[in-house]
Amino acid sequence: MRIPALKIGFFVFGLAAFVYLALRFGLDQIAGNIQRAGWSLLAIVLLWLVVYLLNTFAWMLTLGTDGRKIRFGRLFMVTVSGFVINYVTPVVALGGEPYRVSALAESMGTGHSISAVIVYRMVHLLGHMFALLTGIIAALIVLPLPVSVSVTMALGAVAVGCVIIITLLGHRHGFFEKLQSGLARITILRRLAALLEKYRSNFKEMDRAITVPYHHARGKFLLAIFLEYVSRICMAFEVYIILRGIGIQVDPVPAFFLYVLYSMIINLLFFIPLNLGAREGGLALGLESLSLPPLLGVYLGVVMRIREFFWILLGLSFMLLSGHK
């Protein structure tokens, strides 16, 4: 088996980022927190196995007939590796998408693989947004939050709802060709629109790809969104498990609230390299709102990153193992 140079490049990049993260946190600190976390660390590592399996099933559903060309095991490895590259991409977590296109192109061709990655990314986004909306509504109804936090969450719910509507409209009507036409109406962007004109046929093909699941495979499309939604619910239980592991009694709704809050902050601060500090800050803010020690946010963040280290190493290995000709 000869491993393509592009995959080796992704592997080297990911490994360098992993080493940087490990050294930045300190091996002694990592070892100490592994010991403190105990059983909860193993539990969240296995929990993320469930998350990635759900992600893979959802992606398989969106592939349609093209899914028959790819074994589930290989798609699982590509899924995990893609998320790993997204995580270690310094700015804007989208570096895994070119890798996924490259990995699927071996079986499906470049055009179909680009469409497949775009469709899954939109389904993944919808699952995330529906989970955030659920968490926000549950927190506002159940938890006695400070007024400032409640207002922020309510505004977040409006923003999340807008994203859901726009994404669903894209699945129903397409938007790539409309976007190119819209650019032509803006004076300062007309030159860009003219450059993109030669790709109009590609835009039509991508619009066709993202609308087909909505119109012709509605059941699989909705099931894929539901699986992504469930995967996010599983991710929310990570906070619950870690806190229980150190003896802090917390109910599922407050744990879900913590997940929603740090997830929203990470997405707002997407430009921070590797999300360093963004997650911990979001957790600290949420813990303070729940009258829990804010410093626990640092511990939660470190344990989550240790879990990420495990999956980064596994994802990097998958990059090499999933190589074909």
Residue boundaries of the structural domains of the chain: 5-321
Q: How many whole angstroms separate alpha carbon 79 and alpha carbon 120?
A: 11
Beta carbons within 8 Å of 283's beta carbon, 6+ residues apart: 239, 258, 261, 262, 296, 297, 300, 301
DSSP assignments along 166-229, one per residue: HHHHHHHH--HHHHHHHHHTSGGGHHHHHHHGGGHHHHHHHHHHHHHHHHH-HHHHHHHHHHHH
Q: What number of CA atoms fall less than 13 Å from residue 311's CA on the CB side?
A: 30
Supply the pTM of this predicted model: 0.82
More confident residue, 155 or 174: 155
User: How far apart are alpha carbons 269 and 251 in whole angstroms?
Assistant: 28
CB-CB contact of 25 with 298 (8 Å): no
- Average pLDDT (122-142) is 92
**118: pLDDT confidence band, cut at 50, 70 and 90?**
confident
Tokens (6 digits) for 166: 């726009």
Residues 6 or more apart whose CB falls under 8 angstroms from that of 81 comprise: 10, 96, 99, 103, 315, 316, 318, 319, 322
Higher pLDDT, 207 or 270: 207
Higher pLDDT, 96 or 60: 60
Cα–Cα distances (Å) from 147 to 23, 63, 152, 154, in that order, read 40, 44, 9, 10
One DSSP character per residue, 246-309 reads TT----HHHHHHHHHHHHHHHHHTTTSGGGTTHHHHHHHHHHHHTTS-TTHHHHHHHHHHHHHH
Write out the two tokens for 158. 């409006």
Separation of alpha carbons 286 and 308, rounded Å: 21
| Segment 286-321, tens digit of pLDDT | 888 888 888 777 778 878 888 888 898 888 888 877
pLDDT in tens, 34-55: 666 677 888 999 999 999 999 9
Q: What is the mean pLDDT of the chain?
A: 80
Q: Report d(CA 45, CA 136) in Å as an integer.
A: 26
**Residue type, position 249, single letter:** Q
